[in-house]
Amino acid sequence: MKKRILTVLPIALLPAFSAAEKPEWLEIGSYIAEQVAEYVWEQYTGERPPTAEQAVQYSGKVVAVHDGDTVQIRDGNGRKHKVRLAYVDAPELQQKYGTESRNVLRSAVQGKTVDVTVYEKDRYQREVARIVLRGYDVNLAMIKKGHAWHYVSIAKKKQGKAVFAEYAYAESQARAKKLGLWKSHAPEAPWDYRRKMRGQQHGTSGGRPKETGWFEGWW
């Protein structure tokens, strides 16, 4: 297996400059650093991180909360959107803590106007999106308070590197503090639960392979 050796530039040691006096060499260095960071992310995930230009944005009122990671939003034109929170996986309603997770999300966003950034649609035609309420990332908040998992198998392929790190850290802190579902000693991940249910439906113990793909991930 080939090993890639990465050189980390000591950018933190560079002197601080105001926007007016920033030398040309520093601007060039910053640009190169950004390009290196994007290259590293592509090598790790096989994908370029999503850009703002690739996303669709709108605002609307949350009119229904189906579970801990799926809501319905009515936009300013009266159109309803079924939205799946991106990079988050909450317990299924049939699971322990599934109802509580839904109720927490419902109490936070039901009837409120939110800003929505849609990255794509899943195979059920739900919009996979980030929801922001008064400047707060609702997706991240569900992880931070221990009401959902960071959906790593999906996020490592699609989520921007900085936000991925933020979500991963939020889950690690929720685990350490035993918040929400992490009060249980070994909570069952929703993807494991779904695989178990599929196995029972098909008369097998394992069902389909482990969820690792983009389309296999969003349920």
Domain count, the chain: 2
58 and 28 in a single domain? The answer is no
Structural domain of 91: 52-183
pLDDT in tens, 161-172: 999 999 999 999
What distance in Å separates the CA atoms of residue 166 and residue 45, rounded to the nearest whole number? 17
157 lies in a domain?
A: yes
pLDDT at residue number 4: 46
117 and 155 in a single domain? The answer is yes
Of 51-60, 117-126, 127-136, 188-197, give the lowest mean pLDDT range: 51-60
Q: Which of 92, 127, 171, 211 is catalytic?
A: 92
- For β-strands 88-89 and 113-121, DSSP reports them as unpaired
Q: How many CA atoms lie within 13 A of 166 on its CB side?
A: 11
Tokens (6 digits) for 162 = 């900085």
What distance in Å separates the CA atoms of residue 210 and residue 148, rounded to the nearest whole number? 19
- How buried is 3 (Cβ within 10 angstroms: 0-12 exposed, 13-18 middle, 19+ buried)? exposed
Per-residue pLDDT for 29 more than 90? Answer: no
Q: Which of 102, 126, 130, 195 is catalytic?
A: 126
Beta bridge partners of 149: 89
What distance in Å separates the CA atoms of residue 182 and residue 174, rounded to the nearest whole number? 7
126 is catalytic: yes
Q: Which of 4, 48, 84, 198 is catalytic?
A: 84
Per-residue pLDDT for 17 more than 50? Answer: no
84 is catalytic: yes
